[in-house]
Homo-oligomer: A and B are copies of this chain.
Amino acid sequence: MRELSAYNHDEIADLRARDEFFWLDLDTPDEATLEAISDQLGWHPLAVQDTREWHQRPKLDDYEDYLFLVVKMLLLTERKEIAIEQVSLVLGRNYVISFQENGSDVFQPVRERLRAGKGRLRPSESDYLLYALVDAIVDQYFAVLELMGERLEAVQQTVVDDPKPETLNDIHALKRQLLFLRRAVWPLRDVLNNLSRSDCRFLHESTKVFFRDVYDHVVQIVDTIETLREMVAASLDIYLSSVSYRLNAVMRVLTVITTIFMPLSFIASIYGMNFEYMPELKSRWGYPLTLAIMALVGVGMLVLFRKKRWL
């Protein structure tokens, strides 16, 4: 088995002549290279075109002589952001060719296991290599989901402690990311289900069991995404209701203050009137009595509010 990282017509012709299995890993190849590979390996024009369109859904096309597979790769950038990249994989009788969008090193572990020749990675079977590559991609998903889970927990904390419009933006950012994740993972489920049941002649029964295993992982990922989505939706509910609860608290304070001071001010304003004939004003006890009445009204209101549980 030969591992190639650049396209060379003669080398491949030679390998094919000797019927030796090879893996060619290309990073955003130019059009000329693509045409050359396609010509040499006899691919359908549509397959070639698909490797050039970077916004496809995950899919599996069976062209009899080769399988064409589009998978989405989820990556964590250094700033802990989630990047979605596309990988096209072509499986032929004695080759696997992978096209990456931006050469990130997600296939590095596979490459190392291949070189060490250890583990279950037997170099003689192209379908098993395909499995190893897909498995490496799907393994990345778990890391991304874990990050999402952590972010959700952080948001759930803020939502209860201190809901701000920024929290709302965080919730919606999470929601949008989960939406994109789901879009990337959901069709992969069918792809892997088809792979594990495919009657393509390059896929051995013994390898299909492994594709079934990756399928189980993807189902689990889909499940987790749905759970996260429901929990994000719940966070939004909590956000909205804690904002409305706070509004309630604010309004209650406003009402309590207004209800206490309005009658008091009214009483004061009565004795601020300048009528000539107001007997209370002449009285020795007018002022202290008025103050006493005010105190009574104020305390009475407070007691009422405590009874109504507004304080």
Interface residues of A, dominant DSSP: helix
Given A209-B44, A236-B237, check contact A290 B310 (CB 8 Å).
Answer: no
The one of B220, B240, B275, B310 that contacts A271, using a Cβ cutoff of 8 Å: B275
CB A188 to nearest CB in B, in angstroms, measures 13
A269 touches B275 (CB 8 A): no
CB A47 to nearest CB in B, in angstroms, measures 10
B273 touches A290 (CB 8 A): yes
* Residues of chain B with a CB closer than 8 A to A293's CB: none
B255 touches A253 (CB 8 A): yes
* Residues of chain B with a CB closer than 8 A to A251's CB: 247, 250-251, 254-255
Given A234-B175, A242-B165, A251-B247, check contact A277 B287 (CB 8 Å).
Answer: yes
Q: How far is the CA of A263 from the CA of B160 in the complex (A)?
A: 32
CB A283 to nearest CB in B, in angstroms, measures 8
Given A250-B310, A268-B269, check contact A243 B242 (CB 8 Å).
Answer: no
* Residues of chain B with a CB closer than 8 A to A169's CB: 160, 238
A244 touches B244 (CB 8 A): yes
B259 touches A253 (CB 8 A): yes
A257 touches B262 (CB 8 A): yes
- What 0/1 pattern do residues 214 to 254 of A give for CB contact below 8 A with B? 00100110010001001100101111111111111011111
Q: How far is the CA of A244 from the CA of B263 in the complex (A)?
A: 27
The one of B179, B236, B246, B282 that contacts A276, using a Cβ cutoff of 8 Å: B282
B219 touches A57 (CB 8 A): yes
A57 touches B223 (CB 8 A): yes
* Residues of chain B with a CB closer than 8 A to A236's CB: 237
A179 touches B246 (CB 8 A): no
* Residues of chain B with a CB closer than 8 A to A216's CB: 56-57, 59
* Residues of chain B with a CB closer than 8 A to A45's CB: 120
* Residues of chain B with a CB closer than 8 A to A57's CB: 216, 219-220, 223
Given A165-B242, A179-B230, A244-B244, check contact A269 B277 (CB 8 Å).
Answer: no
* Residues of chain B with a CB closer than 8 A to A179's CB: 227, 230-231
* Residues of chain B with a CB closer than 8 A to A59's CB: 216
Given A251-B255, A254-B254, A265-B262, check contact A56 B175 (CB 8 Å).
Answer: no
What is the interface of chain A, defined by CB distance below 8 A to chain B?
44-46, 55-57, 59, 61, 120, 160, 162, 165, 168-169, 172, 175-176, 179-180, 183, 209-210, 212-213, 216, 219-220, 223, 227, 230-231, 234, 236-248, 250-255, 257-259, 261-266, 268-278, 280-284, 286-287, 290-291, 309-310
Given A46-B210, A257-B259, 6 more contacts at CB 8 Å? A56-B220, A59-B216, A180-B227, A268-B273, A276-B282, A276-B286
